[in-house]
Amino acid sequence: MEILLVERYSAQMRWSEPLMLLEIEKIKMILSEKESGEIIEEYNLSPTTRSFSFEELKQGTEYKVTLQSIGKGDEKSTIKSYSFRTKIYNHRRYFFILTKNDLTLLRPENCVEVLQNGFDQDGVYTIFIGSHGTLEAPAYCRQKIAGGGWQVIQQRSLQTPYIQPLMNDYVEGFGRADSDFWIGLGEKIRIA
């Protein structure tokens, strides 16, 4: 099973041969939210189905998909599962917010301002840093913990191989904001 394309509100997946039964009558597929375990939808698909598109998903949400083929006499295959997270729209350039008096154009300088603009999902957003907010920088904002507005400056998982960075890498920064990364000493000075 593989996920082909994941967007803000949709995902497409495909799989190869059904899951090891000789006479398949249907394929049972369940879509659920991974964190809560809440079942969103159950599908009974034709045994020849090899792909599926999910629509009307929530952005920035992690989902779990399970597939099981059902044969004659309720014979069932092993359950196969896969997880994916829908994208969060990376608002580039400018944010518009409606205040009591007028429409204000805002270039967020940090994750607190991103949150104040109504973007309350964890994810990568563009912030504007420097003395006049002229430099664009990606920032991973944690909006779901401790009131939100937190910018992640370092993140390390044990899933990727460790590469020994050079001193210059610690100054410039390395990695991707949505994965293993270090923001860089130069960047920390600009946002401080």
Residue 106 inside a domain? The answer is yes
Look at 96 and 3; give whichever has higher pLDDT.
3
- 3-class secondary structure, 34: coil
Does 62 lie in the same domain as 19? yes
For residues 31-57, give the mean pLDDT. 91
Does 173 lie in the same domain as 102? yes
Q: Indicate whether 190 pLDDT > 80.
A: no
For residues 56-73, give the mean pLDDT. 86
pLDDT grade, residue 73 (50/70/90)? confident
Q: What is the span of the domain harbouring residue 106?
A: 95-191
Q: How many Cβ atoms are within 10 Å of 152's Cβ, its own excluded? A: 16
Residue 62 inside a domain? The answer is yes
Residue 103 inside a domain? The answer is yes
pLDDT grade, residue 31 (50/70/90)? very high
Q: Give the global pTM.
A: 0.49
CB 135 within 8 A of CB 128: yes
Give 135's DSSP letter.
E
pLDDT grade, residue 104 (50/70/90)? very low
Does 61 lie in the same domain as 13? yes
- Boundary residue ending a domain (85, 109, 131): 85
- CATH number of the structural domain spanning residue 68: 2.60.40.10
Look at 40 and 14; give whichever has higher pLDDT.
40
Residue 111 inside a domain? The answer is yes
Does 113 lie in the same domain as 48? no
Q: What does the DSSP assignment read for 60-94? A: T-EEEEEEEEEEGGG-B---EEEEEE-------S-
Domain count, the chain: 2
CB 181 within 8 A of CB 187: no
Does 122 lie in the same domain as 79? no
For residues 85-103, give the mean pLDDT. 54
For residues 46-64, give the mean pLDDT. 87
User: What pLDDT digit, counting tens, does each position of 122-154 carry?
Assistant: 888 888 776 666 677 778 888 999 999 998 888
Does 187 lie in the same domain as 106? yes
Q: In whole numbers, what is the pLDDT of the chain averaged over residues?
A: 78
Residue 164 inside a domain? The answer is yes
What pLDDT was estimated at residue 22? Answer: 64
Does 175 lie in the same domain as 99? yes
Does 177 lie in the same domain as 138? yes
Q: Indicate whether 64 pLDDT > 90.
A: yes
- CATH number of the structural domain spanning residue 171: 3.90.215.10
137 backbone dihedrals φ, ψ, rounded to 5°: -145, 140
Residue 90 inside a domain? The answer is no
Residue 132 inside a domain? The answer is yes
Does 124 lie in the same domain as 45? no
- 3-class secondary structure, 153: coil
What pLDDT was estimated at residue 125? Answer: 83
Does 111 lie in the same domain as 46? no
For residues 56-84, give the mean pLDDT. 86
Q: What does the DSSP assignment read for 100-125? A: SSSEEEE---SHHHHHHTT--S-EEE
Does 187 lie in the same domain as 104? yes
pLDDT grade, residue 182 (50/70/90)? confident
Look at 123 and 91; give whichever has higher pLDDT.
123
Tell me the one-letter amino acid at 166: L
